[in-house]
Amino acid sequence: MHAHALTPSQLALAPYCRPGFEAAQYHDASRPGYLVFGYSTATGRQIARDAFRRKEAGEHYDGWELGAGYRQRSLPLREMPRVLADPARHLPISANDPGTDIWVSQGEFTRPNRQKINLARIAVCWVDIDLRHEGAPTRLSSLTPDKALALVLARIAERGLPPASMVLWTGRGLCIKWYTDVLPKAAYPRWAAAQAALVETFADLGADAAARDASRILRLAGTYNSKSGTLCEPIYVNEFFGEVQRTAFDDIADAVLPFTRQQLAELRAKRAAAAKARKQRLANRLIALEGSRRASGNLQAFNPVRLAWLQLDDYRKLASLRAVGQRPEGWTNSLVWLATSALAVAVWADADRWDNELASLCRELAPHWSASRIAQATSTVRSRMQQMSQGMWVDWQGKKRPPVYTPRHSTILQQLGVTDAEAEQLFVIIPNDLARERDRLRQHERRRGMGVPTRQQWLESHEQRRAHARLLRA
């Protein structure tokens, strides 16, 4: 057991140190989905080291031993309160093991893993700063938690960022957190861009560029860091009468991204007007997206990453609609090829987790395939993904394009043979007629919301005015 005297500042922050408190700021047990706990014990790490030594010496070892140093467990969100109340009771760890580390996912997922393709929602932004890593400059590695916090708060004020909700001392550095409104998966591209910008803002202070994506797990507040032997605990809390303050995600994005949401809307409107003036087909430049916030309608400027995420959702939906035994010959091959190409465009900026994302997607789309068949079917996409991660994009008609297969909309429909019944359950992989009908209905709802009368209402009103005029002339 760890024991140390508490300073006055630690006593003031003690109510926020419970393992369940900090995680409950961005996880909600009443929501559907899963969260993931990672854990590492001293015993497990020793088993892994011994197995690795035997492997290097050519001696016998069991495969599971190499991974004994780290384990993870996915649990339904509804089980979060009881697990966080007593992690040692619900995770296979010992309460008396001072070498135990525990991490928790920051996002919530639709399936029991933490792949980004299964992201359900996220309600936090963060920057993880490692001050004690090997090679860290002395000016950072020698900082005390209080001095490091002062630097961080000064940087936040200097760059005009919204105040952080909480800053944790993780045992070897700081974790700055902004608790936000709950963002759906559809907001992931903009959230990821904001995360990258936040990390860049604190890069010279040791921000970890690898710890920024939605699949990341971070150290659980209220548990110990085995490397430093110290508690992961809040050293700064932005609270008002005991309630931790939240920040609107748009405020964070507006502070760190090149354009605010309003500026983006204005820029898109100008581009749309220019395209219309040149009499170019608007459909070649814009895609209809349900739920868009554009003031000019339900059209949103073409974004290949966002389109790829939407296509991925449709590919997965198609796989669930067609059982393996009901699929035509070669249909699964086409589905895997199209879906993995879309995945490459969607996650190319997070290439370090590409293999995990790819394996999870293929197991879902083709559960009857062996690992060797999956590797064979995805070898080309893997190669192109590596090119993308190295910045090797291609020039096409004067524009930079990803070197992966990006088929036309009509090609996707033809290769997958999407039926009318299936299209009703999809979002973007739909026939043009259905897309136009959906857009017509959206426009109809938008006009009603603006108070524009229906044709029948206008006719009735017009007839009333004509009748009133006839009476005045009589």
Does residue 297 carry a pLDDT above 60? no
**pLDDT tens digits for 183-198?**
999 899 899 999 999 9
The helix or strand, by DSSP H or E, that contains position 444, with its residue range, turns out to be helix 432-449
The three-state secondary structure class of 142 is coil
Quick one: pLDDT at residue 197? 94
**pLDDT tens digits for 113-135?**
998 889 999 999 999 999 987 76
Regarding beta strands 286-288 and 243-244, do their DSSP bridges make them parallel or antiparallel, or are they unpaired?
A: unpaired
Question: Which segments within 87-172 are labelled E, that is strand?
Answer: 101-105, 107-109, 119-130, 166-169
* Distance (Å, whole) CA 380 – CA 413: 22
Q: Which two tokens stand for residue 65?
A: 């031993």
**pLDDT tens digits for 405-440?**
788 888 899 889 999 899 999 989 999 888 888 888
* Alpha helices in 203-258, H assignment, sequence order: 249-256
- Cβ atoms within 10 Å, residue 286: 19
Which of 156-165, 228-237, 458-467 shows the lowest mean pLDDT across its residues? 458-467
Quick one: pLDDT at residue 72? 92
For the residues 380-400, what does the mean pLDDT come to? 75
Q: Please answer whether residues 412 and 338 qualify as being in contact, where contact means their C-beta atoms are separated by less than 8 angstroms.
A: yes
Q: Which two tokens stand for residue 410?
A: 């009509």
Question: Which of 318, 311, 313 is closest to 418 using CA atoms?
Answer: 318
**pLDDT tens digits for 304-344?**
788 889 999 999 999 999 988 888 888 999 999 899 989 88
pLDDT band at residue 365 under the 50/70/90 scheme: very high
* Distance (Å, whole) CA 330 – CA 130: 49
Quick one: pLDDT at residue 35? 95
* Distance (Å, whole) CA 412 – CA 141: 53
In CATH, what is the architecture of 8-255?
Answer: Alpha-Beta Complex (3.90)
* Alpha helices in 348-419, H assignment, sequence order: 354-365, 371-377, 379-389, 409-416
The size of the chain, in residues, is: 474
Write the DSSP assignment of 221-235 as a string of letters. TTSEETTTTEE-EEE
Regarding beta strands 101-105 and 217-219, do their DSSP bridges make them parallel or antiparallel, or are they unpaired?
A: antiparallel
Specify burial of residue 23 (Cβ count, 10 A radius: 0-12, 13-18, 19+).
buried
Which of 209-223, 232-246, 446-460 shows the lowest mean pLDDT across its residues? 446-460
Q: Please answer whether residues 392 and 403 qualify as being in contact, where contact means their C-beta atoms are separated by less than 8 angstroms.
A: yes
Mean of pLDDT over the chain: 83
Does residue 92 carry a pLDDT above 70? yes
The DSSP bridge partners found for residue 207 are: 129
